[in-house]
Amino acid sequence: MAGWPPRTMIRRCGGLRTLESALIRGGLGPVAGVDEAGRGPCAGPLVVAACVLAPRPQTALAGLDDSKKLTERAREELFPVIKRLALDWHVVVIPAWEVDAIGIHVANLEGMRRAVAGLAHRPGYVLTDGFRVPGIPVPSLPVIGGDATAACIAAASILAKVTRDRMMIELDQKLPGYGFALHKGYNTPTHTAALAQLGPSSEHRMSWRNVAGLVRGSRVSMVATVDATELELDPVAADVSGAT
């Protein structure tokens, strides 16, 4: 087919399966979707997931949508279903210190590359949410609003979001006082007030302006570093995969 696969960004179209189905019909499957959770917060890790779904829609995944549009309960219900029914999936966790070291955009790109590389089976095509990711070793395409456009990206967004939320809830127990379980590290008034009182913890991103200001003011909390490998989660706070 002339001009296929497309080389430009794709905007939202009708149906979560439209784009994936077209790629598969064109002989470019299996199709992996990639998305992240945690770009904006000033604390906690960046979590990136890649997911490959079965070509045919599955009734148990009929509720798939952009993770931000789903309730926490809906995400939690879909999380184990996605892991069970997905042909392949991989979750990558990039800790706050690495985000500081390389910057959030580079960390996001690197996380997406790692997530695709961690899949047990090499996909034929990769759909990424929002922007192009250089260095993926197979054809790829950025999809604007991808988690509300492609089912595989929506599934990846849920894997990333639920994994990160669970990590932040556990961090709330290890680093009490900041309210991580409530705001998940985002810059809410509650979080801002806790930062002003306690100073940054080891899980805060020191390169964020609001955190850096407290560091310059010498209001740094002597909170012990939490090793991400100690977080007992499913998936744990490390690269985690699943394939069928």
Spatial CA neighbour of 64 closest among 20, 122, 123: 20
**What is the spatial distance between Cα 161 and Cα 46, in angstroms, rounded to a whole number?**
10
Of the chain, the end-to-end C-alpha distance in Å amounts to: 31
What is the per-residue pLDDT for 244? 67
CB atoms within 10 A of CB 162: 27
pLDDT single digits (tens) 62-87: 888 777 889 999 999 999 999 999 99
Residue with tokens 């790692």: 114
46-52 vs 31-37, strand pairing mode: antiparallel
What is the per-residue pLDDT for 77? 95
Whether 1 shows a pLDDT value over 70: the answer reads: no
Name the residue ranges covered by the structural domains of the chain: 18-169, 175-229
**What is the spatial distance between Cα 57 and Cα 71, in angstroms, rounded to a whole number?**
22
Reported confidence tier of residue 56, pLDDT bands at 50, 70, 90: confident
Most confident of 55-64, 198-207, 234-243: 198-207
Reported confidence tier of residue 217, pLDDT bands at 50, 70, 90: low
Q: In the chain, what percentage of residues exceed pLDDT 70?
A: 83
Reported confidence tier of residue 55, pLDDT bands at 50, 70, 90: confident
Mean of pLDDT values over 194-211: 93
What is the per-residue pLDDT for 39? 95
Is residue 57 packed enough to be buried (19+ CB in 10 Å), middle (13-18) or exposed (0-12)? middle
Mean of pLDDT values over 112-120: 97
Mean of pLDDT values over 48-66: 87
Rg (CA), the chain: 18
Give just the sign of the alpha carbon dihedral 116, 229, 86, 73. negative
The mean predicted confidence, pLDDT, of the chain is 85
Q: 18-169 adopts what CATH topology?
A: Nucleotidyltransferase; domain 5 (3.30.420)
pLDDT single digits (tens) 140-185: 999 988 878 899 999 999 999 999 999 999 999 999 999 999 999 9
Whether 94 shows a pLDDT value over 70: the answer reads: yes
Mean of pLDDT values over 220-236: 42
Position with higher pLDDT, 65 vs 48: 48
Whether 51 shows a pLDDT value over 80: the answer reads: yes
Q: Alpha carbon 138 to chain centroid distance?
A: 20
Reported confidence tier of residue 237, pLDDT bands at 50, 70, 90: very low
CB 69 within 8 A of CB 148: yes
Mean of pLDDT values over 45-73: 88
Position with higher pLDDT, 223 vs 62: 62
Starting at the edge strand found earlier in the chain, the sheet holding 240-243 runs 140-143, 125-129, 31-37, 46-52, 88-94, 240-243
Q: In the chain, what percentage of residues exceed pLDDT 90?
A: 64
Question: 209-216 and 189-198 are packed helices; what angle lies between their axes, rounded to 10 degrees?
Answer: 20
What is the per-residue pLDDT for 62? 83
For 138, which DSSP code? Answer: S
CB atoms within 10 A of CB 129: 26
Q: How far is CA 87 from CA 84, 120, 169, 222, 225, in A?
A: 8, 9, 29, 44, 36
| 177 three-class SS | coil
| Residue 46, phi then psi, degrees to nearest 5 | -100, 130
